[in-house]
Structure 1
Amino acid sequence: MDEKEGDVLAFDFQAVVIGGGAVGLACAAALGRGLGPTLVLEAGAQWGAGISSRNSEVIHAGLYYPTGSLKHRLCLRGRRMLYDDLARRGIPHRKCGKLVVATDDDELAEIEALARRARDNGVEGVRMLGRDAVARMEPELHTAGALWSAETGIFDSHAHMLALVGDIEGGGGHVVAAAPLEGASPHAGGYRLRTGGADPAGITTRVLVNAAGLAAPDVAARIEGMPAGAIPRQRFAKGCYFGLTGRSPFRHLIYPAPVDGGLGVHATIDLAGRVRFGPDVEWLPPEATVSGLDHAVPAERAATFETAIRRYWPGLPEGALFPDYAGIRPKLSEPGAPAADFLVQGTPDHGLPGLVNLFGIESPGLTASPAIAEQVMGLLAPDV
């Protein structure tokens, strides 16, 4: 649809977002409100079935991230926006709080340093607790002390994504699954896209947002004019989760001291009261590809989980864990290196007007998603 109305080119959509996960849907809902009808193209068979369906559904407070980083700023802003949005829509959520526990004096020093960072980051409701105070909150824990984070919570992420789909469609847009991007090229002040799948199509759009998660670098490489040097090298880290049979031993989320590549094998509780443990961190080979990723959870990993869990919960019964699910995280850093920040690219970064790329959007991306959408809108403002 390239007909002109006066001097203005009429695009099929004002915006197209590649990727139908929580971040992509949040961006599309914001673009729909700000620019007009927006299309979401999801390569998978269902929106929200990628990274967004394989996590802990935790609303992070913002404890861990270097002060001033995008992860820090967008997590804090996104968490506040998310709680407000969940309350406004009546979407199930609970601000249950979490304990980051130390099992010895060395870990206690790490947790105290984490508390200082959290305060520097402006996180509300953070304080250190001694062994006795922790025992009153969670009698089954073995700790030398813990950091209490009152703002951490859990929510129904799928209900939230469904609400975002409703926003997009209510604004005249669409969310289309099984529609991978084959290619994109600049066209008349916007972009012409070619989609694959069972019903290939050509689409024009005013602006384009690459929120393809694990496939974001691959999608960027399909955009004509995108400098190869602006596409980051990405690594994958797999994280497995195990469920717990029987009753929950905890009333709050329980996290150990952080580890390389993740936050350790932690205990989370869903809104139905079920407990799961994970994720662990398995760095996949550098040559791993999106199409070759395996989400199976080997049952034999339970032994490693039991060892990690019993450091803070010695009462874990034998044989109480069962394989649940696994997720894959997009990493912009190598094993052993400091965790990389989110990479949010606008026109100054790659030279293409009306294009935003989102790379390395791992945790706390779900929490940060409303603020990431806000950031994307700000980057596109000069081009629209």
Structure 2
Amino acid sequence: MESYEADAVVIGGGVVGLAVARALVREGLGVIVVERNGRTGEETSSRNSEVIHAGIYYRTGSLKAQLCREGRDRLYNFCRDWRVPHRQCGKWIVAVEPEQVPALERLKTNAAANDVQLEWLASARHREEPALRAEAVLSSPLTGIIDAHAYIQALVADIEAGGGWVVCHTPVEQLVSEDRHHRLVLGGDAPCELRTPRVVNAAGLAAIPLAQRWEGMPASEIPRAYWSKGHYFAYSGRHPFSRLIYPLPDATGLGVHLTLDMAGQARFGPDAHWVETGDLTVPASLRERFAEAVRPWWPGLDPDRLVPAYAGIRPRIHGPDDAPADFVIQGSERHGLPGAVNLFGIESPGLTASLAIAERVRERLA
């Protein structure tokens, strides 16, 4: 088996892994990204709402709050510099009934604590979305949408321009840490061995299983993995909305909301289901459940125009009865392996925060 060396290896070719690799390449390191799938970004990175989040919902002081806000600004700048299609279209968060207004007020307070300003809309402005039924509305002007596939392509282009490599069809079959170095045995089309002083586990859904197979990684530092599946339905034909519409969040997440893609097509989702398999089918039988979730704020919805679109699975480190967990950026201060970083529980707002997460990883490996 051929053996090679690299300054750094990033395991996982989703947006976070690619952003980390880009940050390390820009430090002058020789970086290899290894991705088990046939293309980059095939899993969580391309199966989400493609929303640039403002940083509204997260616990004040948490990594999610800090890195969402920082990553949001970095991502808008990156999109402008690299001409990645995006639009700062804003979103409305709506209370449908009077008794929901206090929850909106609490959300506004939490956002302000995260240094994100939301605006109460006067009832006269509700007419900007004439199909919407709402008792009260908070506007988030910093929320936007992005073409996630174009973002992935731009990250790969920047990595390769800096001399880095992105290699697909390359699963990690063995990972051993010893003597301040890390040895990876890679499978796929060209099996080989890689040695490196720096390795980043950014494998998303596979991050925890990979850490469990990592020789030298203490089992006590590896959280339990949970998977949450979210379905999306597209809306066939024209719709009346010009911005994103979100209900109040619920116990499982942000609720079934309306997002737009760069072509203006509307889609609804995600819902949330705890799963143990990677099945990505979207049952048509969920159509009525989606319609019931949307009708309170869009009474004119035609459920027959809801079309199964796609599903995604979020890598969570909290279960259905737990409080939402924060991002985990785990370095040697926890696991004791110099030059190694684990990224656990990188779910939403992972895409928005990706460039900020990359900076944190770069700092740890400096």
Q: TM-score range by the shorter chain?
A: over 0.9
Alignment-derived partner of residue 8 in structure 1: none
Alignment-derived partner of residue 6 in structure 1: none
Alignment-derived partner of residue 334 in structure 1: 319
The reply to whether residue 49 of structure 1 matches residue 42 of structure 2 is: yes
Alignment-derived partner of residue 198 in structure 2: 207
Distance (Å, rounded) in 2 between the aligned partners of 1:282 and 1:91? 32
Alignment-derived partner of residue 51 in structure 2: 58
Alignment-derived partner of residue 207 in structure 2: 216
The reply to whether residue 129 of structure 1 matches residue 125 of structure 2 is: no
How many residues align? The count is 366
Alignment-derived partner of residue 287 in structure 2: 302
State which of 88, 111, 115 in structure 1 corresponds to 2:104. 111
Q: How far apart are 1:187 and its partner, in Å?
A: 4.4
The reply to whether residue 72 of structure 1 matches residue 72 of structure 2 is: no
Alignment-derived partner of residue 231 in structure 2: 240
Deviating runs (4+, > 3 A) in structure 1? Answer: none
Distance (Å, rounded) in 2 between the aligned partners of 1:313 and 1:50? 31
The reply to whether residue 379 of structure 1 matches residue 360 of structure 2 is: no
Distance (Å, rounded) in 2 between the aligned partners of 1:323 and 1:15? 41
Contact 1:112 1:128 in 2 (8 A): no
Q: How far apart are 1:137 and its partner, in Å?
A: 2.1
- CA RMSD in angstroms, aligned pairs only: 1.5
- Residues 292-312 of structure 1: per-residue CA shift (max 9 Å, x gap): 410000000000000001011
The amino acid that maps onto 2:63 is: L
- Residues 138-193 of structure 1: per-residue CA shift (max 9 Å, x gap): 11111111110000001111111111111111222211111111111124532111
With structure 2 as the length reference, what TM-score do the two structures score? 0.97
Describe how 1:237-316 pairs up with structure 2 within 5 A: 237-284=228-275, 288=276, 292-316=277-301
- Secondary structure of the 2:304 match is coil
- Secondary structure of the 1:184 match is strand
With structure 1 as the length reference, what TM-score do the two structures score? 0.92
Distance (Å, rounded) in 2 between the aligned partners of 1:106 and 1:28? 47
Q: How far apart are 1:35 and its partner, in Å?
A: 4.2
Contact 2:90 2:142 in 1 (8 A): yes
The amino acid that maps onto 1:327 is: G
Distance (Å, rounded) in 2 between the aligned partners of 1:186 and 1:336? 35
Residue identity over aligned pairs, in percent, reads: 51
Q: Which runs of 5+ in 2 are unaligned?
A: none
Q: How far apart are 1:336 and its partner, in Å?
A: 3.6
The amino acid that maps onto 2:184 is: L
Distance (Å, rounded) in 2 between the aligned partners of 1:49 and 1:347? 29
Q: How far apart are 1:91 and its partner, in Å?
A: 1.4
Distance (Å, rounded) in 2 between the aligned partners of 1:65 and 1:187? 38
User: After alignment, is 56-65 or 137-146 more displaced?
Assistant: 137-146
Distance (Å, rounded) in 1 between the aligned partners of 2:237 and 2:48? 21
Contact 1:37 1:168 in 2 (8 A): no
Distance (Å, rounded) in 2 between the aligned partners of 1:253 and 1:86? 19
- Residues 26-48 of structure 1: per-residue CA shift (max 9 Å, x gap): 00010111141211111111111
- Secondary structure of the 1:88 match is helix
User: After alignment, is 217-226 or 186-195 more displaced?
Assistant: 186-195
- Secondary structure of the 1:319 match is helix
Distance (Å, rounded) in 2 between the aligned partners of 1:337 and 1:355? 28
Distance (Å, rounded) in 1 between the aligned partners of 2:226 and 2:236? 33
The amino acid that maps onto 2:48 is: N
- Secondary structure of the 2:228 match is strand
TM-aligned CA distance change 1:253 to 1:225, over 3 Å: same
- Residues 48-102 of structure 1: per-residue CA shift (max 9 Å, x gap): 1110010111000000001100000000000000101111112111100000111
Contact 2:180 2:337 in 1 (8 A): no
- Residues 267-305 of structure 1: per-residue CA shift (max 9 Å, x gap): 001110100000001112xxx2xxx41000000000000
Describe how 1:344-363 pairs up with structure 2 within 5 A: 344-363=329-348
Distance (Å, rounded) in 1 between the aligned partners of 2:77 and 2:174? 37
Q: Which runs of 5+ in 1 are unaligned?
A: 4-10
- Secondary structure of the 1:333 match is coil
